[in-house]
Structure 1
Amino acid sequence: MNEDLSKKRLGRGLAALIGEMDRVPEEKVAPVATMDRQIPIEFISRNPRNPRRLFTEGDLEDLTHSIREHGIVQPVVVRPVAGSSDRFELIAGERRWRAAQRAGLAAIPVIIREVDDRVALELAIIENVQRADLNPIEEGMGYQQLIDEHEYTQADLAQVIGKSRSHVANTLRLLKLPETVRDLITNGSLSAGHARTLITAEDPSGLANKIIRDGLSVRQAEALAQGEGGKPASGQKAAEREKDADTQALEKLLSDVTGMQVSVNHKNKGGDVRIQYTTLEQLDEICRRLQS
C-alpha cells in the first residue's frame, strides 16, 4: 500500500479507517476479520507499547459502573498474536478492557485487525489523541516512539495524527524536561503551556514548583523563566520577551528547517514572517524554496 496514502487515511481517525478498510480492496488493505465478535476476556492481553500509561482509579471506577449497567458500547480493537489461533493483543481500548475485567464480564466485543507493529502504534496514538486520553507526556512519548522505531519525521507525524507540525514539535520538546517536571505534567499539576516556558530554564524544577505554588499564568511563567522577578535575560530584546512559548518554538522550528534566522510577529489581524539572510547564496536558496 502506498505509504503516503496510508498516512493520510490514518490521520482522518480510527473510525474512518475501520469504515474504509473494507471498501478499498485494490490497495490490499487487511480486511476486517469480524465485526463486534465476542471474545473471552482472558484471551486478550494488553499492548506493552500502548502510549497510554496512566489510568486513574476514579475514571476506571466510573467506567466499571457504566459497563455493569449498560455493557461495552464501543468494541475494543485487537490484533491476533503471532503463532496463536485464539490469543489477541489490544490495539485500542485498554481502559474499557480493564473496566470490563473489574465488572466481571466473561467476554467483550472486539474488532480484529491484521496489522503490523507500526500501524498498531499509529492506531493506538490516533485513538487516544482524538479521545484526549493521553496526557502531554504520554503523547510526546508516543510520537518519539514512532520517530525512533519507524523513522517518522515531524511532518509525517503531523499528517498522520491530524495535528499541526508546531503542535508535534512542542509536544516532543516537553520530553527534554527533567523527570520531576514531567511528573507534574503527567499528574495534571502543571499544564503543557506552563511547562514549555521551562524548557530552556536553568532550574526548571524549582520554577515549576513556584509556578504551581503561586498560581502563575503562562505569561507570568514566561517572565519568571526569562529572569528573576520577570526581568528579561541579559541582552534580550523587548519584542522577544513578549512572544509566547508557542511562537518561540515555531521560530526555532522554521530556523532549523531553513538554516537561517526566522522571526514570527503577530499583529491585530495577521502578522509577518521574516527570514534573515547574510549572503546572496542564502537569498537564492530562499527564492528557490519559495518557487518550488
Structure 2
Amino acid sequence: MPGASFAEIAIDQIVPNTKQPREVFDEDDLKELSASIKEVGVLQPVVVRSIPAKGRSEKLTEFLADKPEARFELIMGERRLRASELAGETTIPAIIRETEDGDLLRDALLENLHRAQLNPLEEASAYQQLMADFGATQEELAKRIARSRPQIANTLRLLKLPPSVQKKVAAQVITAGHARALLSLSTHEEMERLAERIVAEGLSVRTTEEIVRLGKAKATPRPRARQQRPLSQLGESVVSALSDAYDTRVTITEGRKKGRIVIEFAGCEDLQRIADLILR
C-alpha cells in the first residue's frame, strides 16, 4: 500500500481514534476475542497514523494528556486493540499510513459498517457528523461511503426519536424496525409510551406498526376495511427479520392456502438497493 509501512507497535504508544463512531463494545465479545489472541495472536493488523505535530483536536489533546508517551493514533481496529490489552499483550501488529483528519471518521465508519458492528444510533450519529464535517448533503455522503441516499435518510431519521427511546435502540432493547414505526407517531410522549409497551409486552414490529396505524385511523375515520387475520408466529418473525435486513417496512398477509409479502421502497434508487440485497 503506497505511503504505508508495517511494524510491531507498543500498545501504550497508541491512542484511540478521536472520530470513532462506535460507542458500545460487547464485553463478552471482547473476552472471546481476547482468548483467541492469547491462543493465536492478532491475525489482522490494526491501522494507525503518526500523531500530527500541529492542528491537534481537543479530544486528541485530552487523550495525550493521559498517555503522553503515545506516538500513534488509531484509525481502524479498536476492538482488536482493546482485546489485546485485555489479553495482557504489550505490542500489536500495525500498518502505519498517512491519513488526513477528514478521513479518520470515514475509515472507522466503513470498517464498522462492513463488520456490522455499529448499532443504528451510532451509525446515524456518524452519518450526521460526516455531513457536518464535510458540509455534505445526503446524496454526496451516499457517494462517499457507497451507501444509497434513502438508506442514509432512513437511518438519520432515528435521531428524531426522543432520548429515552434512542437509548433503547442503542441498547438493542427495541429494533430499528420498531423505531421506524414509532417515528410515524405525532409526539415524543406517544413514542415513549409505545416504546415502553414494546419492552413490557414484547411487541413485534408488525404489532407495533398495527398499533400506530390504528391510532391514526381513530384520528382520521376511514371506511371500515375487512379485518385481517393475525399473523402466525413464523409470519411475525419473518416480518421482523426482513424489515431489519432490508431497512424498510415489510408486511405479510397470510391466507388459508397462500399469502403475500410486500416490501416498501422509496424510489428507484431504494428499489435497486433492496434488489441488490435480495439477489446477492
Fold shared, TM-score > 0.5 on shorter chain:
yes
Cα displacement string for residues 79-130 of structure 1 (whole angstroms, at most 9, x for unaligned residues): 1101299711111111111111111111101111211121111110000001
**Alpha-carbon separation, structure 2, partners of 1:90 and 1:65:** 22
User: Tell me, what secondary structure is at the counterpart of 1:142?
Assistant: helix
The change in CA–CA distance for 1:268 and 1:119 in structure 2 (over 3 A counts) is: closer
Q: Percent identity?
A: 41
CA deviation after TM superposition for structure 1 residue 206, in Å: 1.1
TM-score scaled to structure 2, two decimals?
0.71
Q: Name the residue aligned to 1:64.
A: 34
Report whether the alignment pairs 1:171 with 2:155: yes
1:214 aligns with 2:201: yes
Of 119, 122, 146, the residue aligned with 1:138 is 122
AA of the residue aligned to 2:109: I
Distance 1:269 1:224 in 2: 19
8 A contact 1:80–1:89 mirrored in 2:
yes
Which portions of structure 1, spanning 4 or more consecutive aligned residues, are displaced by more than 3 angstroms? 230-233, 235-239, 244-248, 266-273
Unaligned residue ranges in structure 2 (runs of 5+): 55-68, 229-242, 251-259, 268-280
Indicate the SS of the match to 1:51: coil
* Distance apart, 1:247 and its partner CA: 6.1
Q: Aligned partner of 1:57: which letter?
A: E
- Offset, 1:219: 2.4
Asked if 2 retains the 8 angstrom alpha-carbon contact of 1:226 and 1:233, the reply is no
Q: Which amino acid aligns with 2:50?
A: P
Of 149, 172, 177, 1:193 maps to: 177
**Residue in 1 aligned with 2:166?**
182
Give the match's secondary structure for 1:82.
coil
- Let me know the Cα RMSD of the aligned residues: 3.2
Query: Which runs of 5 or more structure 1 residues have no equivalent in the other structure?
Result: 1-20, 23-30, 249-265, 274-292
Residues 208-230 of structure 1: CA deviation (Å, up to 9, x unaligned): 121222222222212212344x8
Structure 1 residues 152, 68: closer, same or farther in 2, change over 3 A? Answer: same
Matched, 1:44 2:14: yes
Matched residues in 2 for 1:159 and 1:70: separation? 38
CA shift in 2, pair 1:270/1:72, >3 Å: closer
1:83 matched to 2:67: no
The whole-number CA distance in structure 2 between the counterparts of 1:157 and 1:232 is 39
Q: Distance in 2 between matches of 1:225 and 1:206?
A: 12
| Higher relative contact order, structure no. (Cα contacts within 8 Å, ≥ 6 residues apart) | 2
| Secondary structure of 1:246 counterpart | coil
Describe the SS at the equivalent of 2:74: strand
Check conservation: 1:78, 1:110, Cα contact below 8 A.
Answer: yes
Judged with a 3 Å threshold, the aligned counterparts in structure 2 of structure 1 residues 114 and 211 are, in CA distance, closer, same or farther, namely: same
Q: CA contact under 8 A between 2:15 and 2:70: conserved in structure 1? A: no
Is residue 157 of structure 2 the alignment partner of residue 157 of structure 1? Answer: no
Query: Which amino acid is the alignment partner of residue 129 of structure 1?
Result: L
Count residues with an aligned counterpart: 223
Q: Is the 8 A contact 2:19 2:104 kept in 1?
A: no
Give the letter aligned to residue 79 of structure 1.
R
| Equivalent in the alignment of 2:276 | none
Contact 1:76 1:97 in 2 (8 A): yes
Q: Aligned match of 1:225 in 184, 209, 212?
A: 212
Work out whether residues 223 and 232 of structure 1, in 8 Å CA contact, stay in contact via their aligned partners in 2. Answer: no
